């Protein structure tokens, strides 16, 4: 028999919805707060059960709390995901049609890059492309505001002028990404999650890719790293987390500052 939806469940769900995405440690603290607020025993080992109880009730509405990993630092997040809508139109309540078309072009830039990021300069120049291709007018100042709001809403990340897709963006837009970029999107060969940021196997006959943090764990104790898929030599890029939580390369061979360039089929 399914557990009834309690006030503790509702408080937890509302907070996830409000924040868009929360780190695992924040979710544990939220769970504790919800339990204490409504005099429920705090049993951290039952957090997964607590989340599953919520998913049982929101599932019929095509919603589900899912876990994902940040490509920035490997930290686990929780987010409420709409399982039905597969397009970026799920953002329509917060963004205009023109802003969503602009966002689609931002996604094009991010996915088409080897690094999983797009420079703010290139993104702002998309306003010209938007006008030429769709006759949609957007000033660069307006584009800056859209990016700022999407970072605030945790759809995008911004670091030193570079824009990338956040863990919330990857989780919620996974159906759109895998369908629209089916020839471009790769999954990490170690964790099986979408890998926009990461290392590529240098063999032309292998399409293996892995997140930096997955590669660090996998190659940590290996003297002669090789691709887990094709066994070709893997010139491992050592990445550590800086004080700000962003990846920093410590010992990067000059030949490895860029991944193997992949050929991009036209989508338009």
Give the pLDDT of residue 57.
Answer: 95
First to last CA, the chain: 50
pLDDT value of residue 216: 87
Per the structure block, which two tokens stand in for 186? 């790769």
User: Shortest CA distance to 173 belongs to which of 125, 103, 119?
Assistant: 103
Are 230 and 208 a contacting pair, CB within 8 Å?
yes
The strand pairing partners of 161, in sequence order, are none
Burial of 73 (0-12, 13-18, 19+ CB in 10 A): middle
What are the phi and psi torsion angles at 146 (to 5°)? -60, -45
Q: What is the pLDDT of residue 121?
A: 94
CA quadruple 26, 88, 192, 216: dihedral positive or negative? negative
DSSP-derived secondary structure letter, 233? B
191-212 core/surface letters (b: 16 or more CB in 10 A; e: else)? bebbbbbbbbbbbeebebbbbb
- What confidence score (pLDDT) does residue 44 get? 82
Does residue 192 come out as left (phi exceeding 0), alpha (psi in the -120 to 50 range) or beta? Answer: left
pLDDT at 83: 80
Model pLDDT for residues 134-183, shown as the tens digit of each residue? 888 999 999 999 999 999 998 999 999 999 999 999 998 988 898 899 88
How far is the CA of 9 from the CAs of 48, 53, 71, 81, in angstroms? 12, 8, 29, 17
pLDDT < 50 positions in the chain: 241-245, 247, 249-266, 268
């Amino acid at each position: 028999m399914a557990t009834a939806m309690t006030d503790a469940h509702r408080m937890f769900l509302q907070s996830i919805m409000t924040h868009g995405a929360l780190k695992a440690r924040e979710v544990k603290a939220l769970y504790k707060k919800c339990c204490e607020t409504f005099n429920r025993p705090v049993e951290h080992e039952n957090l997964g059960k607590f989340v599953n109880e919520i998913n049982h009730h929101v599932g019929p509405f095509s919603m589900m709390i899912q876990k994902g990993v940040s490509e920035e630092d490997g930290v686990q997040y929780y987010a409420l995901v709409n399982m039905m809508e597969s397009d970026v139109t799920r953002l329509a309540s917060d963004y205009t049609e023109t802003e969503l078309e602009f966002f689609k072009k931002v996604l094009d830039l991010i996915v088409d890059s080897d690094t999983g990021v797009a420079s703010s300069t290139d993104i702002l120049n998309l306003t010209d492309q938007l006008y030429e291709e769709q006759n949609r007018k957007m000033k660069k100042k307006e584009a800056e505001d859209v990016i700022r709001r999407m970072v605030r809403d945790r759809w995008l990340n911004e670091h030193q002028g570079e824009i990338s897709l956040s863990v919330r963006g990857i989780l919620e837009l996974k159906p759109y990404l895998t369908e629209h970029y089916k020839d471009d999107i790769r999954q990490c060969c170690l964790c099986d999650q979408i890998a926009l940021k990461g290392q590529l196997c240098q063999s032309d006959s292998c399409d293996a890719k892995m997140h930096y943090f997955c590669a660090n764990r996998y190659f940590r104790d290996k003297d002669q790293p090789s691709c887990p898929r094709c066994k070709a030599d893997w010139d491992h890029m050592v990445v550590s987390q800086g004080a700000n939580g962003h990846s920093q390369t410590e010992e990067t061979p000059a030949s490895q500052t860029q991944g193997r360039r992949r050929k991009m089929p036209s989508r338009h």
